[in-house]
Chain A
């Protein structure tokens, strides 16, 4: 079983729709959760981090965390073509391994006009 799994893509949504990206993790003790966006041919960049159960909103992005279900998601409202990218879920297990992230395989999102 992979440590961090993301819903298989690619995901295609029309402009203006809500894009929903999902991620599950195996280490129940994980502390911190991140969403990175990676445009084709570019490097990953952090767009959201979440540490507590519930929702965290930042503009059009909402991260949701459910530690009991070991599940984290990213919602993108009013999707734009510029949101087309690969979205990577990353998990930090906590403890002494500060900064050591495990990444999911990524979900390719395409927003079509």
Chain B
């Protein structure tokens, strides 16, 4: 299996622009998680889905952030408009419901200038 796939790996954008991060979970996994990691705040859960349905979005920082999972093999995290404080590494992870192991993707390093 290819593991969790994220794109792009690096994104540099200017403040005010829309940013879309993409994730393909491991086939057969029914949970998908979006995390953000910064030096100051560590690894934070933003939102997670079960069977494509958002279960908990309490970690989404504000309305500028939105996430969708239109099918079992694809999810997006969108930031509109982006701000410099959104600069971070964004990870996607997936989990099979019968397991306790979350598999993380390689991450997207976002820089907002």
Contacts and interface: CB of A to CB of B under 8 A. Distances in A.
Interface stretch (B60-68, B74-82, B93-101): B93-101
A43 B42 contact: no
A43 B101 contact: no
23 contacts: A42-B106, A43-B91, A43-B107, A44-B43, A44-B91, A45-B104, A49-B101, A88-B43, A92-B100, A97-B55, A98-B97, A99-B31, A99-B50, A99-B102, A101-B102, A102-B45, A103-B42, A103-B43, A103-B44, A104-B42, A105-B42, A106-B42, A106-B43
Contacts of A100: 45, 48, 56
B51 to A, nearest CB: 12
A46 B101 contact: yes
A32 interface: yes
A35 interface: no
Contacts of B55: 97
Q: How would you classify the secondary structure of chain B's contact residues: helix, strand, loop or mixed?
A: strand
Nearest to B95: A99
Interface of B: 31, 33, 42-45, 48, 50, 55-56, 91, 95, 97, 100-102, 104-107
Specify which of B31, B42, B55 lies most central, judged by the most chain A CB atoms within 10 Å of its CB.
B42
A50 B31 CA distance: 21
A7 to B, nearest CB: 14
B21 to A, nearest CB: 14
A43 B104 contact: yes
